[in-house]
Amino acid sequence: MTTDTIADMLTRIRNANLAKHQVVQIPSTKITRNIAQVLFSEGLINSFEELKNGFKSSLLLSLKYMGKDRKPCIEEIQRISKPGLRVYSKSKKNAKNFRRVWNSYCFNFARFNDRSPST
């Protein structure tokens, strides 16, 4: 059992992308389900489903790749604020950084949408 479920989820996704796996299994919590929902709604994963096995449940994420060389849709994923080192910033700075990151994300996502996804 890990204490930082978000970092565990991101590491599993990162490792599965590097190994070009089609699916990745992640322990299910409320926060990991919500993150998976956001990744799905943004079009960064194909699908996700929750597998229940008694008291333990897990998420099965279907990763999305583009082109014949199977380039992952998620190029980089990282956690900024960690339990041992919290990162705080002012709301105006966050808005400016969010616009900058969102604009670069939209550009990268639009570039990937021009290609057809491989299954």
What are the tens digits of pLDDT across the range 84-108? 887 776 666 666 655 555 555 544 4
Q: φ and ψ at 25, to 5 degrees?
A: -105, 130
Per the prediction, the chain carries an average pLDDT of 79
- Summarised one tens digit per residue, pLDDT across range 21-43 is 999 999 999 999 999 998 898 88
The whole-number pLDDT of residue 30 equals: 92
Nearest to 32 by CA among 51, 11, 59: 59
With 70 as the cut, is the pLDDT of residue 75 above it?
yes
Look at the chain and report how many structural domains it folds into: 1
DSSP secondary-structure letter at 81? S
- pLDDT score at 100: 56
Q: pTM for this one? A: 0.71
Predicted local distance difference test score (pLDDT) of residue 110: 46
Q: Which domain holds residue 111?
A: 5-118
CATH at residue 47: 3.30.1370.30
Region 78-84 average pLDDT: 79
**Residue 24: helix, strand or coil by DSSP?**
strand
pLDDT at 93: 61
Considering only residues 114 and 96, tell me which one the structure prediction assigns the higher pLDDT.
96
Q: Which amino acid is at 60?
A: L
